[in-house]
Chains A and B, each alone.
Chain A
Amino acid sequence: MRIRVYNLIVLTLVLFAAALAAETQTDSEANREYQIKAAFLYNFIKFVDWPGETSASDKPIIIGIIGKDPFGGAFEPMKDKTAKDKKVIVKWFKGLDELEKSSQMDKSGKHPQIDDIRECNLLFICRSEKEKLKETLDLLKDRSVLTVADMQGFLEAGGIINFVIEENKVGFEINITVAKKAKLEIRSNLLRLAKRIVGEDAAKKP
């Protein structure tokens, strides 16, 4: 048993290393990575406090995924899971481009999904939305949405958490300033694990 666990860890590490070294991600490797990221997304909920969030309200926690979904079935195991005693719902949204293309605007010139996007607690912005990143982030400016992505320069662009791969392991970095603007409270446990912290309190990070 012990050997098996040990082997498993070694195997994982080997796999991560292999993936990084190859620079090319096989399906399974990518799948694996996004499984972890999905789990991370789910776990972020537990370490971030939203304003006005009370356990009494039955409002589910919505995880939005915008753009071309890289997760595949990574969210399957999280279906019907709860966090903070609330239901967690995963919603997929099309990228802004596509929304604009589809002329299903309502009377105010907005796509009805926009509101849904804004209603999200956590929004994972896929790499496909890199071009429309600014717009997307602007859309959420006045909302308390934890924006997560896995692309370079996301934090600088105004994102809050960005996944990074370090030593073949999934890590993340955090922009506290933006989080604060969005009135999100990120717990220190999470901050401690961040590989990089951007923002006013960045200096504090050792």
Chain B
Amino acid sequence: MPVLQRMTIKDKLIFIIMLGCVTGLMLAGTAFIVWERSASRDNLVRVLSTRAAILAENCKSSLAFQDPKDAENILKALHVDPSLVSGTIFNDKNERFATYYRDSSIKKVTPAEFKKVIVTFNNDFLLVSSPIILDNAITGTICLQSDLNFLHESLKHGIQIMAIVTFLSLLAVFLMSSRLQAVISKPILSLAKVAKTVSEKKDYSARALKHGSDEVGLLIDSFNEMLEQIQHRDLELVNAKEMLEERVEERTSELTSANEQLTKEIDVRKKTEGQLRRAEENYRTQFEGAMDAIFVTDAETGILTDCNPAATRLVGREKSELIGQHERILHPPKSLVGEYSKTFKEHLAEKQGETLEDEIVTKTGKVKDVAIKASLIEVRGKRFMQGNFRDITESKKAEAFKTQLLEQLASANQELKDFAYVVSHDLKAPLRGIKTIADWITTDYADKLDNDGKEQLSLLANRVDRMHNLIDGILQYSRIGRMEEEKVQIDLNKLVPEIIDMLAPPENITITIEKELPYIECEQTRITQVFQNLLSNAIKYMDKPKGQIKVGCVEENNFWKFNVTDNGPGIDEKYFEKIFKIFQTLAPRDEFESTGIGLTVVKKIVELYKGKVWVESKVGEGTTFFFTLPKQKTGAEKNEEHLQTSAVG
């Protein structure tokens, strides 16, 4: 069917439908005509037979009473049917009894023709015979002959009708199928169109419209699904492409940046090389111009590889004499251990970078003291020992001299201390004597002395007391660094109240301990002196009707920071330094009995413990003395036996 193949779907559909229709119609028509023909033949036979039977019934009396005229009259009625050609009645002897002919041309029927069968079809005629039965006996036979024009006519008509019906049906089918074929062809055509669009424009977003849920609908669904997949794939492809491009770009930019980096690095390298070269030059310059003698030795073999001018000067040899030699030639035999010098070994082993002292020997055999600081350096994968040699022969001499001086100084100082102590001690005895004599004069010559004299004697006694206190203070001060006392654990919470009790402050002054005070480990006498001095100062100088003195302590770093705060007169800032100096008092001597030693003692003790002491104050509002003591482990034991007090004026 190549013709059918070339047709469009639309035409194909129409063609197929019409072909089917025509075939059906033809078959149906043919069947109908065949059936109709046979039916009408049957019918004809039946009609003819019926007619023959009726005629037979009517004719039997004619036969019985031998009345052929009557029979012929009856037969004449046959002319109503033009298809009936002839009718013949035979009697029981098969003699022609009565006849009817449509026209004269009709061939006569002979008994032989109807005897065999009741119904005979020959070419153009149908012959039907029926016996005439009267009272169970056959009295004759009636024989009717019909032409088949009617049949032929009906066949012709049938074919005509069929042709017309076929034509009309074809027309109707054509019209209908032309319209209805769209149901099938339209989705397919639209699908084809979409497919074409897709293939031409590469537009995978196009979708075929679904018209129904038949196979074409399924096809469209599948197509759409396929398109979707393709679209998806396409998108992925595009994405992949973009990604690839991005990656290429990225890679390119990476490469570019790497290139730049490389260029930069090369620059840096160049710069570094320049720097290195400069550094090397610098090093060289330093090396060459160093004050110290520098020797470079192969760390493995101990062979000298380089040295600077200072080095040639140090050992009194030319550089050429030194290079290639073993380092041991630099040292006198006594500083050698085996092949190598002692310090070379030590530096090589564990004392790298440390300064060791050694001796060297010059070309002329002169031995010099040197300090050697040596460390390993690595140059092009090889280890070298670079040693800086400093001639310390002179400084060693100077040091020895200094030590000697210090010793002299120390002994002189000791003598001075002893002297101060002795003097102070010895001065007290005559003072006591003066005081005693003054008392005696006052008592013994009370009536002889006038008021003036008594006053002057009392003044004398007073000055003597002051002198005494002064000497006591000096004694105490000088004793601080001298006397050794056992360090014990002291609970300041106990010690401080005892000190306050001992000081017996006037009623208008209250002394409070703000916080719990720590345990400290120190000499009890000294810590007592510190608190005693600070508290007695606060009491002594209190100018307010209601004096407030507080003792507190906070932890600060590794120190205890104590404070003694009062609301007394305060101290001008410019005196903050001065007050800690010996024999310095701010108030006039006469107003307050003060030796000017107390704070000096405090400072000395605190500094002895590596602490600090300072003051903060505002004039008119009060003063706070701070001092710090290093924290020590608080022992479990508390030694409360050595509670000593010493009053300091």
Residues of A within 8 A of B (CB): 2, 5, 8-9, 36, 40, 43, 46-47, 82-85, 169-172, 187, 189-190, 192-193
* B window 61-106: CB within 8 A of A: 61-62, 64-67, 70, 93, 95-96
Residues of chain B contacted by A169 (CB below 8 angstroms): 66
Please determine whether A193 and B135 come into contact, CB atoms closer than 8 angstroms.
Answer: no
With A8-B95, A84-B135: A189-B66 Cβ-Cβ less than 8 Å: no
- Complex contact A193–B65 (CB within 8 A): yes
Given the interface pairs A5-B96, A8-B95, A83-B135, the reply to whether A47 lies near B66 with Cβ below 8 Å is no
19 contacts between A and B (CB under 8 A): A2-B110, A5-B95, A8-B95, A9-B95, A36-B66, A43-B64, A43-B65, A43-B134, A46-B64, A47-B64, A82-B135, A84-B135, A170-B66, A171-B67, A172-B65, A187-B61, A189-B58, A189-B61, A190-B61
Known: A2-B110, A192-B61. 6 other contacts (CB 8 A): A2-B96, A43-B65, A47-B64, A82-B135, A170-B66, A189-B60
Q: Which of B60, B62, B64, B70 has the most CB of A within 10 A?
A: B64
Complex: A59 Cα to B19 Cα, angstroms:
76
B residues within 8 A CB of A36?
66
Q: Which 7 A-B pairs have the closest CB atoms?
A: A189-B61, A5-B95, A43-B64, A46-B135, A193-B65, A193-B67, A193-B61
Which residue from chain A places its CB closest to the CB of B96 in the assembled complex? A5
Q: For the complex, what is the distance from the CA of A169 to the CA of B68, rounded to whole Å?
A: 11
Q: Which residues of B contact A84 (CB under 8 A)?
A: 135
Is B395 engaged at the interface, CB distance under 8 Å to the other chain? no
Chain B minimum-CB-distance residue to A47: B61
In the assembled complex, the CB of A10 is this many whole angstroms from the nearest CB of chain B, namely 12
The answer to whether B364 has its CB under 8 Å from any CB of chain A is no
* Contact in complex: A193, B95 (CB < 8 Å): no
Q: Is B136 an interface residue (CB 8 A)?
A: yes
Residues of chain A contacted by B60 (CB below 8 angstroms): 189
What is the bound-complex CA distance between A125 and B240, given in angstroms? 135
- The minimal Cβ–Cβ distance linking A82 to chain B, given in whole angstroms, is 8
Report chain B residues within 8 Å CB of A85: 136
In B615-632, the 8 Å CB interface with A consists of: none
CA distance A172 to B95 in the complex (A): 24
User: Which residue on chain B has the smallest CB distance to residue A45?
Assistant: B135
Q: How far is the CB of A173 from chain B (nearest CB, A)?
A: 12
Residues of A within 8 A of B67 (CB): 171, 193
Q: Quick one: which of A169, A170, A193 has the most chain B CB within 10 A? A: A193
Given A46-B134, A83-B135, decide whether A193 and B96 contact each other with a Cβ distance below 8 A: no
Q: In whole Å, how far is A187's beta carbon from the nearest beta carbon of chain B?
A: 8
Which chain B positions have C-beta within 8 A of A8? 95
Quick one: which of A9, A47, A84, A189 has the most chain B CB within 10 A? Answer: A189
| Count of chain B residues near A, Cβ 8 A | 16
Q: How far is the CA of A43 from the CA of B66 in the complex (A)?
A: 11
> Considering the chains assembled together, what is the distance between the CA atoms of A192 and B64 in angstroms?
13
In the bound complex, CA of A169 to CA of B69 (Å): 12
Q: Which A residues lie within 8 Å of B62 (CB)?
A: 193
Roughly how many angstroms separate A15 CA and B171 CA in the complex, as a whole number? Answer: 76
Interface residues of B in 240-285 (CB under 8 A from A): none
How far, in whole Å, are A193 and B67 apart by their CA atoms in the complex?
Answer: 7
A-contact 0/1 string along B10-40, CB 8 Å cutoff: 0000000000000000000000000000000
Q: Give the chain A neighbours of B70 by CB distance below 8 A.
A: 192-193
Contacts of B61 in A (CB 8 A): 47, 187, 189-190, 192-193
Whole-angstrom CA separation of A82 from B95 in the bound complex:
24
| Neighbouring B residues of A2 by C-beta, 8 Å | 96, 110
Report the separation of the CA atoms of residues A85 and B93 in the bound assembly, to the nearest whole angstrom: 23
A9: which B residues are within 8 A, CB to CB? 95
Give A94 to B95 CA distance when docked, in angstroms.
39
Q: How far is the CB of A79 from chain B (nearest CB, A)?
A: 16
Cα separation A189 to B65 with both chains bound (whole Å): 10
A195 (CB) vs chain B CBs: closest residue: B67
The complex places the Cα of A138 from the Cα of B136 at a distance, in Å, of 35
Given contacts A43-B65, A83-B135, contact A5 B93 (CB under 8 A): yes
* In the bound complex, CA of A172 to CA of B93 (Å): 24
In the bound complex, what is the Cα–Cα distance between A170 and B66 (angstroms)? 9
What's the minimum C-beta distance from B138 to chain A, rounded to whole angstroms? 14
Name the CB-closest residue of B to A189. B61
* B139 CB to nearest chain A CB (Å): 9
Q: Return chain B residues, CB-CB under 8 Å to A189.
A: 58, 60-61
Give the CA-CA distance A190 to B67 in the complex, in Å.
11
In the complex, A9→B58 CA distance in Å? Answer: 22
Tell me, rounded to whole Å, the shortest Cβ–Cβ distance linking B458 to chain A: 205
> For residue A188, which residue of chain B has the nearest CB?
B61
* Chain A residue nearest to B59 in the complex (CB): A189
Q: Quick one: CB contact mask for B106-122 with A, threshold 8 Å, 1 for yes? A: 00001000000000000
Interface residues of B in 327-376 (CB under 8 A from A): none
Q: For the complex formed, measure the closest distance between the CB of B461 and the CB atoms of chain A, giving whole angstroms.
A: 204
CA separation between A82 and B135, bound complex, in Å? 9
CB-based nearest B residue for A9: B95
In whole Å, how far is B90's beta carbon from the nearest beta carbon of chain A? 10
Q: What's the nearest-Cβ distance from chain A to residue B58, in Å?
A: 7
The distance from the CB of B641 to the nearest CB of chain A, in whole angstroms, is 177
Q: Kindly provide the distance from the CB of B259 to the nearest chain A CB, expressed in whole angstroms.
A: 137
Chain B residue with the shortest CB-CB distance to A42: B64
Q: Within 8 Å CB of A47, what residues of B?
A: 61, 64
Nearest chain A residue, comparing its CB with the CB of B60: A189
Give complex CA distance A47, B327 in Å.
Answer: 182
Shortest distance from the beta carbon of A110 to any chain B beta carbon, whole Å: 35
A192 to B61, CA, bound (A): 9
CB distance from A3 to the nearest CB of B (A): 11
Report chain A residues within 8 Å CB of B136: 85
Question: When each residue 29-61 of chain B gets 1 if its CB lies under 8 Å from chain A and 0 otherwise, what string results?
Answer: 000000000000000000000000000001011
CB distance from A85 to the nearest CB of B (A): 7
CB distance from B135 to the nearest CB of A (A): 5
State how many angstroms separate the Cβ of B98 from the closest Cβ of chain A: 12
Please give the distance in Å from A91's CB to the nearest CB on chain B: 21
Assembled-state Cα–Cα distance A84/B136 (Å): 8
In the bound complex, residues from chain A placing their C-beta under 8 Å from that of B65 are 40, 43, 172, 190, 193
Which residue of A is nearest B67, CB measured? A193
Min CB gap B71→A, angstroms: 10
- Residues in chain A near residue B64, CB distance under 8 A: 43, 46-47
What residues of B have a CB within 8 angstroms of the CB of A46 in the complex?
Answer: 64, 134-135
Q: How far is the CA of A187 from the CA of B62 in the complex (A)?
A: 13
Contacts of B134 in A (CB 8 A): 43, 46
Least CB distance from A5 to B in Å reads: 4
Complex Cα gap A172–B64 (Å): 13
Q: With a CB–CB cut-off of 8 A, which chain B residues contact A170?
A: 66
Residue among A5, A83, A84, A172 with the highest chain B CB neighbour number at 10 A: A5
Which residues does chain B contribute within 8 Å of A171, judged by CB atoms? 67
| B-chain residues with CB within 8 Å of residue A5 when the two chains form the complex | 93, 95-96
Report B66 CB to chain A, min CB distance, Å: 7
Which residues of chain A are within 8 angstroms of B110 by Cβ–Cβ distance? 2
CB distance from B126 to the nearest CB of A (A): 23
Most central of A8, A83, A192 by chain B CB within 10 Å = A192
Interface hub of B58, B65, B96, B110 (most chain A Cβ within 10 A):
B65
Q: How far is the CA of A5 from the CA of B99 in the complex (A)?
A: 14
What CA separation (Å) do A170 and B64 show in the bound complex? Answer: 12
In the bound complex, what is the Cα–Cα distance between A114 and B96 (angstroms)? 45
Bound together, the chains give a CA A189 to CA B62 distance in angstroms of 8
* Min distance, Cβ B111 to any Cβ of chain A, angstroms: 9
Distance to closest chain A CB from B564 (angstroms): 173
Q: Distance in Å from the Cβ of B144 to the closest Cβ of chain A?
A: 20
Considering the chains assembled together, what is the distance between the CA atoms of A69 and B405 in angstroms? Answer: 223
Q: Residue on B with the closest CB to A4?
A: B95
